[in-house]
Structure 1
Amino acid sequence: MTIRNTTALTTTAIAAALAGVLIAAPAAAQSGSTSQSATGQSATGQSATGQSATGQSATGQAAGQTGNQEMSETAQRCLEDLRQVDQRLAESGYGRVGPEGYGTYGGAYRERPAGTAAGDAAGTASMGGLTSPRQDMQTLLRAGYIMAITGHGEGCQTVVQTAQDMGDRYTRALEEGDRQEALRQWRNEYLGSAIGVAELDRPMRIDEIIGADVRNLQDERLGEIEDVVLGANGEIDYVLLERGGFLGLGTEEVAVRWQDLKVTPSPYRDTLILDVREDVLENAPTVDDETRLGLGQDEQHRRDIDGFWEQTFGEKRG
């Protein structure tokens, strides 16, 4: 049994809401009284004047096609800009917690007190609707993606600029004093203190797992958790690690045994540790939409996955 990425769906819903706020005025300006049919707008959005769900009228088809082509080009450019911003953010390590908690990201993020129910349960920083810098950046980039594919290029470019500004602010903060070296030393200890998931004193919630950042002990980002696979006993057998690509585009999912992961300590618990080099994942068993559904019951596939990780860690620990 697999549990789909409910965190991603929630994030997409938030992004859609954000996109809706930013594009509401242009959308309202584009839609006039002619979009309403004599009996009220139908479920398909078709009006008495022949306007389709895309807002293209029968008489303006040629002009509409030209506009759609232009929007498509704009969307492609903005999607590429988003991908490049995402790559630069990953290279800078944006979203990582440090010795100041999430303070490096600005005053909007405040650390929940360690040892409190709120801090231990959430494992993130919070101010109002904010969660953590990495999750909030993902929400922002998803909003830009939604704007791009719906033809709102200006809104998408606003997102690109905002994401760049946030990333630049983080980079400048790290360049002050000895923060870069202090961060490196602190994270070496932080990642090294990760606890095996089988040794946790309390279970992790699904929303702590799905969407979690996955890194190795060298602090190299390996990907994020897209899905979990439950065994017959209802416990997690595998997680599906999404790597490569951008916002689910061009990505692949690697099946990883749950038992092979560690989690960073409270109050953050924001990172899962898989102690392998990045190139190991290039040969790791992958899943697609078809094999994902049968992963819990396909014994041969499970043996292939287990065999790969047994060999990987057997060689390492032997």
Structure 2
Amino acid sequence: MALNIVNYLLKPVFTYPLSRLLVNEVKIHKLSCVTHSISICSSIRWNKTTQDKELHSDNNILHGKEQIISKLNFECMEHAQPFYKLPTKTLLHVYKVTKHDEKQRYCKNRLYYLSEKLKCPASVLSKHIAQRTFIYNLSFDWLERSLNVLLEMGVTSEGLMRDLWVLKYNSNTIQERLQKVKDMGVVNIHPWMVRCSEDILNRYIEIMQETKSILGETKSTQIYLANRLNTTIEAVNEMCLKTPALKTIRVTKVKHFLDFLISEGFTVEDVANKPRILAASQKTIKQRIDKLRQLGVEDINLNILCRSKKHFNKFCESIESISKE
């Protein structure tokens, strides 16, 4: 009895024939492979369909842009190329304005109008106009009057091309601003003078007037520097080669800095031998002079003052350590 129970417990759970089981497993595997293949094919087909739709959409957009741009009276593809980057909605607006300008006999396209007025090739101007499509938002009368005032007041074509935003300002505002600048004796007129705040403009005028007063008949910072240092213009040019910052230094800084150094006991010969001092900050140099004097240094030379912050601090530390001994 016990043996029968043991045999029963050891009996396989199911007695399905092994051969049939293997066959079914093979069938299941094949079915799985087929299903997987169908899934992959479906995925590929779906992706291809999506890509085809996107490509078709892109082609439609491009075709739509081509149709619009072809009606904007561009003389060649080079002039039109930058406009392909614009949204279709923007191009439609440009088209509408262009057709209105053409109907009113203003111009065939504002690109060519500005190109003629600024004496700038359309191939160069095209990318600037495409990036600043507000040009097509202005009424032609507004654009024409603002542009004419700017040119009459002496703004250069190069300056205008770099700062087309100034055309958004009313011609009366432009006239008043630039006339004020000219009345103050400023010769070089720039578009930013229309757009900047009153404080900035007044500060600029103040600097220009001071510059004019300092330069007098010399007309050049380099000539002024040569006169102040009792040297030749050739020597100053050589200084500028060694210290490029001197090429663009304002004459107002040169004057104030030289006056300060002389008041501190330095001679023009000292500065001529170490012109790099003029490229430094006057505030920093004053702080260094004060610190050295606090440390008891009496013989201060420009070489020490021109040192880097790290080396200057090391020099001061060495003086402090000596004084403690």
**TM-score, shorter chain, exceeding 0.5:** no
Which structure is higher in RCO with an 8 Å CA cutoff and minimum separation 6?
1
TM-score, structure 2 as length reference = 0.23
TM-score (norm 1): 0.23
Structure with larger Rg = 2
Structure with more strand by fraction: 1
